[in-house]
Amino acid sequence: MKVAVVGATGMVGNVMLKVLEERNFPLTELIPVASERSVGKKINFAGKEYEVVGLETAVSMKPEIALFSAGGDTSLEWAPKFAAAGTTVIDNSSAWRMNPDNKLVIPEINANLLSAEDKIIANPNCSTIQLLMALKPLHDTYKIKRVVVSTYQSITGTGVKAVKQLENEYAGSKGEMAYPYPIHRNALPHCDVFQDNGYTKEEMKLTNETKKILGDDSVNVTATAIRIPVVGGHSESVNIEFERDFEEAEVRQLLNDFPGIKVQDNPGVNTYPMPIYAEGKDDVFVGRIRRDHSQPNSLNMWIVADNLRKGAATNAVQIAEYLIENKLV
């Protein structure tokens, strides 16, 4: 089982390598792949040293699986080349997510849709993954009509440049800016680029990806995405309107029973999800579960997850594990 990690020297690529090692992923050969400027660099994985190769070399090595985290343009150009060589690509960019011919997969929700014919599989947006993990068991039971979500997103979602900007601002140093304004002691209601409809691409991903993953266009989602000076993970304030009423105790039970969800919800002793505790973990944490008394059949929740792990690397590795377990590669 040869596995290529495309973008191995980047922030998500590094976490992919870490997750593969932690989960004892059954690979026989690792192929770390990066841009030409990183070719020849050495990386350590599971006690061995590997040399970074370029994309063309990686395609010629015909890996069974390629985990991509190298940006949309790279994915659009190179994922089809890997697929043509017989490789199954699991892509972390937005390049293939809304393509009707490509599956958009959260393993706990819809991995059963995958087949051996799926050669380019899309990993959802980090904010979408944690939102849908919490929505899925509730949608199955109460049928969701509408979701209003505000995200409070870690700078790690932007990448190394953003982390460096925050570090420079902490230190009072000047440096390259990832954002149009300072992020230290600030909150930017601006994740990704603005669209003609006034929403950002990040906000529209939450709307469109939710419908595709749930397979239900009747679920309406409206989002506001905010960048905050946090490194541990993304947080989401979520208001959900259902078609039928619910009991809070049953909601907690449904969430608690869903794989990959941990309920942290005891305000009496200040127990609720926070990025500082989610960092480095693969679970999605849900708390502040309470009825919305302003309208019928409505619920408020707070959802937190490490955006580099379940929001990106871990979800991709879980898809790969599913493919192997079900002999689809």
Spatial separation of the C-alpha atoms in residues 228 and 37, rounded to whole Å? 31
User: Would you call 126 a catalytic residue per the annotation?
Assistant: yes
Angle (nearest 5°) at CA 225 between 18 and 227: 60
User: Would you call 191 a catalytic residue per the annotation?
Assistant: no
Fold equal for 2-123+312-325 and 127-307: no
pLDDT in tens, 272-306: 999 999 999 999 999 999 999 999 999 999 999 99
Q: Tell me whether residue 249 is exposed, middle or buried, using C-beta atoms within 10 angstroms of its C-beta: 0 to 12, 13 to 18, 19 or more.
A: exposed
Q: What are phi and psi of 72, to 5 degrees?
A: -65, -40
Q: What are phi and psi of 89, to 5 degrees?
A: -100, 135
pLDDT in tens, 16-74: 999 999 999 999 999 999 999 999 999 999 999 999 999 999 999 999 999 999 999 99
pLDDT at 23: 97
CATH of the structural domain 127-307, one choice from 3.30.70.890, 3.30.360.10, 1.10.1040.10, 3.40.50.720 = 3.30.360.10
pLDDT at 220: 98
Q: In the chain, where are the structural domains located?
A: 2-123+312-325, 127-307
Q: Is the pTM of this model over 0.85?
A: yes
Mean pLDDT of 88-106: 98
Mean pLDDT score of the chain, rounded to an integer?
97
CATH of the structural domain 2-123+312-325, one choice from 3.40.50.720, 3.30.1360.120, 2.60.40.10, 3.50.30.10 = 3.40.50.720
pLDDT in tens, 229-253: 999 999 999 999 999 999 999 999 9
Spatial separation of the C-alpha atoms in residues 66 and 34, rounded to whole Å? 12
Which position among 139, 191, 234, 293 bears the catalytic label?
234
Both structure tokens of 183: 């992020």
Which position among 126, 184, 191, 293 bears the catalytic label?
126
